[in-house]
Structure 1
Amino acid sequence: WGDTLPEWLKTSITLERLVMNMRAIKGEEMTGTDAEACAYLNTASLTQPMDHDWTQIYLYIAGKTYTRWKKTEMPEDIRVESLNDDQMRDLNRLKAWLYHKRTTVRLERGRAERRQKREEEAARRKEEQPALFDF
C-alpha cells in the first residue's frame, strides 16, 4: 500500500526525520514523526476498518501533517483539533514503535550487507587460492 501515498507525504516524511535528528542533537528523545504516523495510519486504514479512537487519531495527525505541508486547512467536517489522554498515549506509542521498527530494519540491512560482503570475499579467496590436492 505504500505506493498509494502521495509524493508530498513521502517528502514530508524525509523532512520531518531531518528535523527530528536536529531535535535529538539538542537532547530530545528520538521517535517517529507525525508524517510517518500519518502514512502508517493511511495505509492501515486501507487494509481494515479502524475503531473510533484510531479514526480520531488518524484525522488528528492527518490534519496536522496536511496543514503543515500542504499549507491548506482540513475540511471542517473531518477536522480533529485535539485528542484525549488515551488517544495521545496511543499516538505516542505508535510513533515510538515506528521509530523502533525503522532502526531495527536499518540495523538488519547493515548486517545483511556485511554478511554478503564476507561471503563474497571468502568465495573470491577460495577461487584465487590454488588447491593443494585434487582428488
Structure 2
Amino acid sequence: MLTRDLAVPNLDARGFLYNKPVRFKRTGTNILASFTTFFLFSILNLNQDSIGGGLVFVISPEEETIGHVGGYLGISADVIAVEFNTLMDVEFKDINGNHLGVDLDSMVSTKFADLELVNVDLRSDDQVNSWVEFNGSTQ
C-alpha cells in the first residue's frame, strides 16, 4: 500500500523506488541500453469520496523524488513517466479519467492510450498486469 486513506480534501503522494542506479548507456559507449520491466498493481479507493489520481512508473535522475500531489500524480518535471491515470485533468490535456500516458519532462503526455478501448478500468480494484519496455536502438 503506497498511500494511506485520507479524508477529503487531503492530498497524498508516495513512492516505491528501486534502490540501485540503472545504466541507460552501454558501458564504454554512447549507445542507449534497452530495458523491460513488469509489475502488477490495483487501485483501490478506500474512501469513496476520494477520486484518487493513479499510479506512475518514473525514471528520474534524482533519488527519492516525490513531486507535487493532485493532478501531478506525485511526479516532478524533468522525469520520464508512464502514468496510469484515473483523473481527467484539462490542464494536462488528459483524454479521459482512465488512460495511460507517456510523459517526457512534462505532465502533458506525448503518447496516450484510452484504456477503456482494451477493457481495462483502473478504478475497478482489478489487478492490472503492466510492462514497460524501452528499445535503445529505436528509442
Instruction: Please give the TM-score of this superposition, normalised by the length of structure 1.
Output: 0.24
Higher radius of gyration, 1 or 2: 1
Q: Which has the higher strand share?
A: 2
Instruction: Please give the TM-score of this superposition, normalised by the length of structure 2.
Output: 0.23
Q: Which has the higher helix share?
A: 1
